[in-house]
A and B are shown apart, each in its own frame.
Chain A
Amino acid sequence: MFSRDRWLEIFDSIKKNKLRTFLSGFTVALGILIFVVLFGFGNGLDNTFDKFFTDDALNTMWVNAGRTTKPYMGYKANRRIEFDNKDLEDITNRFAFYIDGITPRISESGNIGYKLKSNNYSVRGVGPFHQKNEMTIMMQGRYINGLDVENKERNVVIGRLVKQDLFGDEDALGKFVSGGGRSWKVIGVFQDDGGDNEERIVYVPYTTLQLIQKNTDKLQQIIISYKPEIGYAGAVAFENQLKKYLKQKKFIDPTDPRGVFIRNIASELSRNDQFKSGLSSIILFVGIGTLLAGIIGISNIMVFVVKERTKELGIRKAIGATPSSIIGMILQEAIFITSISGYIGLITGIGILKLVGNTLEEDYYILDPYVDLNTAILATFLLIGFGAFAGYLPAKRAAKIKPIEALTDK
């Protein structure tokens, strides 16, 4: 196996039979290449999927109010439903068993300025729990806290890009910005993985915002995080109970599809999980299919290679080659060629994935296509193994064939 002469003999045979070498090498390289690229794209799709659903906390419900569509208990249809601070309190008390955290959200847009610069930003009045819910990461200072809400402080937490726009390199903490004709103290700067828009936001205590808006107690939206341990079934039960409770509280027909909406990530997620596992099986299926095609290809070529060499093998036997040296020679050559070309296919495939990178994200939803190196190497070894196996059977037959039969085949 490791004799230098055997290798020289093999190199000689490879060098002087270029078409044969190319055919078997090409099959393996192409098989591995297609496998790596397809598998990589599949993983890229998977990544895009994950990205869509990981920006916000997964155990979250958004409760929104809208207009009713049915008359109920003396109320007319098309009545506008609004939440207020009392609702927030009631929900918190009644569903304490389920709730991990709760926060209202009032969204507006406002002109925020510092010195000579000013700009329009989306302004959100929120509670302290909103930070955890949106997975907001503090870079400097702190987030809105309970005291801010209680005392209706004019404190503001600004996004990374807001800070960049208004302050540039200047330190923003403790400075005052103007907004809505009042001045606000910057108490924190945050970043968010959800993209640039998420970093052009300004957070203020919701109570302060209500105070400015003619001292109302209205809330647009309530965001609830439930305890993860209640699981999917618990989340759905919670959602149904909450919906029923709110409809009762606001005098909405229980059969009215509008009035109160609850968007529950859990039920979306379970749909997505199904889709994702479907996607994964397709990727797996495609991968296995490609490999199978590769294996069949290399097997065919090995049979062809041995058939083509029958006469040569007969000559070698007539001048003293033992059957084992014949089998060894064919296998070693086959394994050598398939290993090298498998490696080339692997590297090319990974190279293509690297090159493609994220250029396919926009149009094809393929993000960070990659192949786990172990999977790729396993696939390569599988092809080499089957190539060797496919070569072994005809090689064994060729080694058994009587030289005289091989030689009279003119």
Chain B
Amino acid sequence: MNHNLMIKIKDLHKSYKMGSNSLHVLKGINFEVEEGELVAIMGSSGSGKSTLLNILGMLDLLDKGTYDLDGVPIKDLDETKAANYRNKFLGFVFQSFNLINYKTALENVTLPLYYQGFKRKEREEEALRYLDNVGLKEWATHLPSELSGGQKQRVAIARALVSKPKVLLADEPTGALDSKTSKEVMALIQKINKDGKTILIVTHEEDIAKMCSRIVRLKDGVIMEDKKNKMVKAI
């Protein structure tokens, strides 16, 4: 395996202003992820795991420290630059799926390609291929409201992958799903990881974390534990 460094974070600090106080959420995180890893970031609520994911996803800005993504230093982010980086480097999967409700499954998946400037036909072909990969080719013309939770999450995964991102970031991807569907989604994530994609999952569920190759535990804004894990197969 090529041990290419995909994510490199040094001395990362982040605090939020809450009125006159400031809440120090991340207190010096040092963290590296190699290409092809499937990392679970764990912690109780308030541990800073979501903040870390948001900074990794350029959805939020860091206060102090450095962040390199596939060798590219992520700094001086203005909105437009962040949008372009997100589009090029990152795919997102959210707990609440975040599909656009008036667009069909296929249209949702084509959207990242639209923002990359692909032609309509190419977009649809590519999106259909990814929908097929997550096993939803037959559901392409359905609206999100006509899909089950697991199906929605799989559409969201297809949408996250269609732009061929370097890293897939998943925030509690199984948080809204029952245990059987969770396992199915995790199996899909493991398959994608096996194909070489670097994936970070924020979760608070121990058995989801056990399905990853590495588990990072956060508490009060610092990394408590960072260890390799023997990946448990989801199904």
Residues of A within 8 A of B (CB): 5, 8-9, 12-13, 16-17, 311-312, 314-325, 399-400, 402-404, 407, 410
* Distance, CA A400 to CA B83, complexed state (A): 11
* Distance, CA A335 to CA B104, complexed state (A): 26
Would you list 29 pairs from A and B whose C-beta atoms are within 8 A, ordered by A residue?
A16-B103, A17-B102, A312-B100, A316-B111, A316-B115, A317-B86, A318-B57, A318-B92, A318-B98, A319-B86, A319-B87, A319-B112, A319-B115, A319-B160, A319-B163, A320-B86, A320-B87, A320-B112, A320-B116, A320-B163, A321-B83, A322-B79, A322-B80, A322-B84, A322-B115, A323-B83, A324-B80, A325-B115, A400-B79
Contact B84 A16 (CB under 8 A): no
- Report if A407-B94 is in contact (Cβ < 8 Å); known contacts: A322-B80, A399-B79: yes
Residues in B whose Cβ lies below 8 Å from that of A324:
80
* Residues from 154 to 212 in B contacting A, C-beta threshold 8 Å: 159-160, 163
* Distance, CA A403 to CA B159, complexed state (A): 17
B54 close to chain A: CB less than 8 A: yes
* Distance, CA A324 to CA B111, complexed state (A): 16
Contact B115 A16 (CB under 8 A): no
B37 close to chain A: CB less than 8 A: no
Using CB atoms, name the residue of chain A closest to B86: A320
Residues in A whose Cβ lies below 8 Å from that of B57:
318
Dominant SS at the B interface? helix
Q: Which 10 pairs of residues, A with B, have the shortest CB-CB distance?
A: A320-B87, A16-B102, A320-B115, A404-B59, A322-B83, A319-B112, A323-B79, A322-B80, A315-B98, A403-B59
Given B83, B98, B103, B115, which contacts A407 in the complex, CB threshold below 8 Å?
B98
Residues in B whose Cβ lies below 8 Å from that of A318:
57, 59, 86, 92, 98
B60 close to chain A: CB less than 8 A: yes
Given B84, B96, B99, which contacts A320 in the complex, CB threshold below 8 Å?
B84
Given A9, A323, A410, which contacts B114 in the complex, CB threshold below 8 Å?
A9
Chain A proximity of B77: nearest CB distance (Å) = 11
Using CB atoms, name the residue of chain A closest to B81: A322
Residues in B whose Cβ lies below 8 Å from that of A13:
102
B120 close to chain A: CB less than 8 A: yes
Residues of B within 8 A of A (CB): 54, 57, 59-60, 79-80, 83-84, 86-88, 92, 94, 96, 98-100, 102-103, 107, 111-112, 114-116, 120, 159-160, 163
Residues in A whose Cβ lies below 8 Å from that of B79:
322-323, 399-400
* Distance, CA A16 to CA B54, complexed state (A): 31
* Distance, CA A8 to CA B123, complexed state (A): 14
Chain B proximity of A20: nearest CB distance (Å) = 10
* Distance, CA A322 to CA B77, complexed state (A): 12
Contact B102 A321 (CB under 8 A): no
Residues in B whose Cβ lies below 8 Å from that of A316:
100, 111, 115
Dominant SS at the A interface? helix
* Distance, CA A314 to CA B60, complexed state (A): 13
Contact A5 B59 (CB under 8 A): no
Of listed A13, A315, A321, residue having the most chain B CB within 10 A:
A315
Contact B59 A402 (CB under 8 A): yes
Residues in A whose Cβ lies below 8 Å from that of B100:
312, 315-316
Using CB atoms, name the residue of chain B closest to A319: B112
* Distance, CA A407 to CA B103, complexed state (A): 17
Chain A proximity of B146: nearest CB distance (Å) = 14
Residues in B whose Cβ lies below 8 Å from that of A404:
54, 59-60
Chain A proximity of B186: nearest CB distance (Å) = 22
Chain B proximity of A406: nearest CB distance (Å) = 9
Of listed A322, A399, A402, residue having the most chain B CB within 10 A:
A322
* Distance, CA A410 to CA B159, complexed state (A): 20
* Distance, CA A317 to CA B86, complexed state (A): 9
Contact B80 A319 (CB under 8 A): no
Of listed A17, A323, A325, A407, residue having the most chain B CB within 10 A:
A407
Chain B proximity of A22: nearest CB distance (Å) = 15
* Distance, CA A315 to CA B99, complexed state (A): 8
* Distance, CA A315 to CA B102, complexed state (A): 13
* Distance, CA A366 to CA B208, complexed state (A): 78
Given B83, B88, B96, B111, which contacts A410 in the complex, CB threshold below 8 Å?
B96
Contact B59 A320 (CB under 8 A): no
Residues in A whose Cβ lies below 8 Å from that of B102:
13, 16-17
Residues in A whose Cβ lies below 8 Å from that of B159:
319
Chain B proximity of A64: nearest CB distance (Å) = 78
Chain A proximity of B104: nearest CB distance (Å) = 10
* Distance, CA A17 to CA B159, complexed state (A): 22
Using CB atoms, name the residue of chain B closest to A410: B96
Using CB atoms, name the residue of chain B closest to A314: B98
Chain B proximity of A211: nearest CB distance (Å) = 93
Contact B83 A320 (CB under 8 A): yes
* Distance, CA A147 to CA B160, complexed state (A): 103
